[in-house]
Structure 1
Amino acid sequence: MRLIINSVIPNMRLIISTVIGVMLGFFIGMSFPTLQFPSGIISYIEDNNSGITTLALLNRAGTSTTKNNSLLNSNGTGKIYIPSNPKGAERLAPGILRPESDLYLRRLWGNPSEDLQIQHKYLVTFTVGHDQKKNIDTAVKKFSENFTIVLFHYDGRTSEWDEFEWSKRAIHVSAKRQTKWWFAKRFLHPDIVARYEYIFIWDEDLGVEHFNAEEYIKLVRKYGLEISQPGLDPSSGLAWQMTRRMSDREVHKETEERPGWCTDPHLPPCAAFVEIMAPVFSRNAWRCVWHMIQNDLVHGWGLDLALRKCVEPAHEKIGVVDSQWIVHQVVPSLGNQGKAENGKAPWVGVRNRCRQEWGIFQARLADAEKAYYIKMGITPPNDTHA
């Protein structure tokens, strides 16, 4: 009998200890719901500047999550879901959303609110190669400190530009053998450049001796131009009469082209037209134009004839600024980035693709508008420059 009793007592002690341990663990868990992380993965590395420990940050996040979870019932009622938020952000509280950005450079240290000594009001981009370095240096100096400077490099050479002081403050984006419209479609989304009132998207071969950017913007505002360009010196690189500088005025919005070229004085190329060489867009106009740029058509030919789709009335809001004028130097630098084939110079293949893209773009635009009118049951307008 003594042997039986001695064997039962230890078993009873074990059972009682186990029960007590389970109950104690349960009550501790209920009392401290935020202790969710094993001590082995908590790092107590402390930020000496802020005094906030990693543990404190994790506990803050854990507390927030636990409180939110406590508000949910079995079918998930209480979760954030806001259909009016931007696509993909429906589960975020509206107060945290920042749908727009900018190209302002920021520090890696200090208070974020003190990063910017000046918030640039305008943006200018040049698509450049190393051979035009001196010309771009001259051009950039025509733009005040109110401008963010962006260089799109089509030859992959970026470090050589650091000899210029302004280059150290500029944004450099490099992709070999790409055009400015390829860069613009990928890096100038309207939500990225929303802080800028005007966006200059310029070629590299422009002479700017008679140009001042701040004076140009004053005239753009004065005449209500949403899409514009400087007048071109008629002695070099002139393709259209509309872009020819008129020396007797500040701005012009219409002109006379060759006979038979303009079926309507308010339509391109006699009005509502600027070239893709040195265009300037208001923030609102660029939001529309960016969406019209085709992802696979990189040269932009034909785009200038369609810019009028983005402003209304186009013949009043598109114009050429004559008193701030430039010279087109006609340097085929990007054209020479093409590939020589069948004994032909590299620029020949580039020019052929330009013409091909023009036809493709015009066909796409016409087809898209026709499909829209058919869907809406509307007779298409009589517009031969659709």
Structure 2
Amino acid sequence: MGIFTHSTVSRKPNESMRLIVTTFVGIVFGFFIGLSFPTLSLTKLNLSSRVLTTIDFKYTEYKKSGPSSSSSVPPSIGNNGSSVNVTSKIWVPSNPRGAERLPPGIVRAESDLYLRRLWGKPSEDLTSTPKYLVTFTVGYDQRKNIDAAVKKFSENFTILLFHYDGRTTEWDEFEWSKQAIHVSVRRQTKWWYAKRFLHPDIVAPYDYIFIWDEDLGVEHFNAEKYIKLVRKHGLEISQPGLEPNKQLTWQMTKRRDDCEVHKETEERPGWCNRPHLPPCAAFVEIMAPVFSRDAWRCVWHMIQNDLVHGWGLDLALRKCVEPAHEKIGVVDSQWIVHQSLPSLGSQGEAQNGKAPWQGVRERCKKEWTIFQTRFSRAERSYFKEINSTFHRTTN
């Protein structure tokens, strides 16, 4: 009993001191909490206000045409106490196909071929933005010819080379090649490349697109002067005049000495059904065509994915501009020479005892027939459907 009593009495002062210290610490801690709490609340409130003011959370949801929302977020309270509707889905039918789930402000439907850096600010990447695009479908054996041609195009042009022989790095012997764009796929034609790499939304920044062969002599050609004449005469589809020689196929593309531009000609008897139709008007060849941005958007869609040589395409280009006999023409004062080098023919294969070039030539002729048949059938089908619809609605 004596030991118990002594221990109880001796602990009382220690417990009292501990209680006093705990109380004091609690008061001090509470004091600081009290000071910081209003500031914390105001900070949160101001942050919420700024977010609600800066960001619009009211996404539009098209329940009829878009996917149904399986879950939704409860409405939030705005600055003035009003309810701000918030949904968990975005569906914008006016966006490009496949991008309906994106907010319109982030959609970038078009691109370009401008080269960009791997460092620095994106806004400072481009020191210049060329207004025109020129493409050549090339083999390394024609490098001197292409070097001469590229030098006829100013810094206003983006240079794009399509390599059908797979040789690209050797072109670095030319300084301009280091800034050019190189696309290499073996044994393909320029229309194969054009269909796959020149989509209208990719080349949208360019006012004019040159899609040229590699065997063109350009001694009497200046690209900037050519563009001025195209604008002056309102040409949507054009080509430079060709120096007359034995290789000339059409009278329309023959260079004239008495004018800057011509839009019609006289052909051999029976070749033209009407004066405003090809090949007497509304016609250029496919060796060196130049397209405006708007015309190219139409022509690209007309190029058939499986017909790679483009034969017959030149006779149908008139479908993409109106009136075609006024907006398609040949620029005489800026002219070129068609050297007729059979370089692409050598990329074929010998079959059934025929030389490689013979097989390529036969394929060209077949494609011409196929294209004409497809186009005429497509037009007949369209007009048949239109007439049928008209009769149904009027009866």
TM (normalized to structure 1)? 0.79
Amino acid at match of 1:359: T
Give 1:341 shift.
Answer: 1.6
Amino acid at match of 1:184: A
Deviation string for 1:22-53 (max 9, x for gaps)?
Answer: xxxxxxxxxxxxxxxxxxxxxxxxxxxxxxxx
Can you give the 5+ residue segments of structure 1 that lack an aligned partner in the other structure?
Answer: 1-63, 380-386
Question: Matched residues in 2 for 1:195 and 1:310: separation?
Answer: 20
Give 1:378 shift.
Answer: 7.1
Which residue of 1 is the match for residue 225 of structure 2?
Answer: 215
Amino acid at match of 1:269: P
Query: Pick from 174, 181, 206: which aligns with 1:171?
Result: 181
| Residues 322-341 of structure 1: pairs in structure 2 closer than 5 A | 322-341=332-351
Q: 1:297 and 1:73, CA in 2 relative to 1: closer, same or farther beyond 3 A?
A: farther
Cα RMSD for the two superposed structures = 2.3
Q: SS of the counterpart of 1:242?
A: coil
Q: SS of the counterpart of 2:252?
A: helix
How many residues are paired up?
Answer: 317
Q: Which has the larger radius of gyration?
A: 2
Amino acid at match of 2:73: L
Which residue of 1 is the match for residue 239 of structure 2?
Answer: 229
| 4+ aligned runs moved over 3 Å, structure 1 | 66-71
Question: Matched residues in 2 for 1:331 and 1:354: separation?
Answer: 16
Question: Matched residues in 2 for 1:161 and 1:372: separation?
Answer: 48
Question: Matched residues in 2 for 1:376 and 1:257: separation?
Answer: 35
Q: 1:216 and 1:280, CA in 2 relative to 1: closer, same or farther beyond 3 A?
A: same
Q: Is the 8 A contact 1:150 1:172 kept in 2?
A: yes
Q: Is the 8 A contact 1:236 1:329 kept in 2?
A: no
| 1:351 to 2:352 alignment | no
Question: Matched residues in 1 for 2:257 and 2:215: separation?
Answer: 22
Give 1:78 shift.
Answer: 4.8
Give 1:73 shift.
Answer: 5.8
Which residue of 1 is the match for residue 324 of structure 2?
Answer: 314
| 1:206 to 2:216 alignment | yes
Question: Matched residues in 1 for 2:117 and 2:377: separation?
Answer: 48
Question: Matched residues in 2 for 1:174 and 1:88: separation?
Answer: 29
Identity of aligned residues (%): 78
Q: SS of the counterpart of 1:243?
A: coil
TM (normalized to structure 2)? 0.77
Give 1:201 shift.
Answer: 0.0
Deviation string for 1:117-152 (max 9, x for gaps)?
Answer: 110000000000011000000000000000000000
Q: SS of the counterpart of 1:85?
A: coil
Can you give the 5+ residue segments of structure 2 that lack an aligned partner in the other structure?
Answer: 1-54, 60-68, 76-85, 390-395
Give 1:237 shift.
Answer: 2.6
| 1:144 to 2:154 alignment | yes
Amino acid at match of 1:314: A
Which residue of 2 is the match for residue 72 of structure 1?
Answer: 73
Amino acid at match of 1:294: Q
Amino acid at match of 1:316: E
Query: Pick from 200, 207, 219: which aligns with 1:197?
Result: 207
Give 1:186 shift.
Answer: 0.1
Question: Matched residues in 2 for 1:222 and 1:236: separation?
Answer: 31
Which residue of 2 is the match for residue 368 of structure 1?
Answer: 378
Q: Is the 8 A contact 2:58 2:87 kept in 1?
A: no
Question: Matched residues in 1 for 2:362 and 2:135: separation?
Answer: 26
Question: Matched residues in 1 for 2:114 and 2:352: separation?
Answer: 46
Amino acid at match of 1:116: L
Question: Matched residues in 1 for 2:244 and 2:290: separation?
Answer: 20
Give 1:72 shift.
Answer: 2.8
Question: Matched residues in 1 for 2:310 and 2:58: separation?
Answer: 54
Question: Matched residues in 1 for 2:246 and 2:166: separation?
Answer: 29
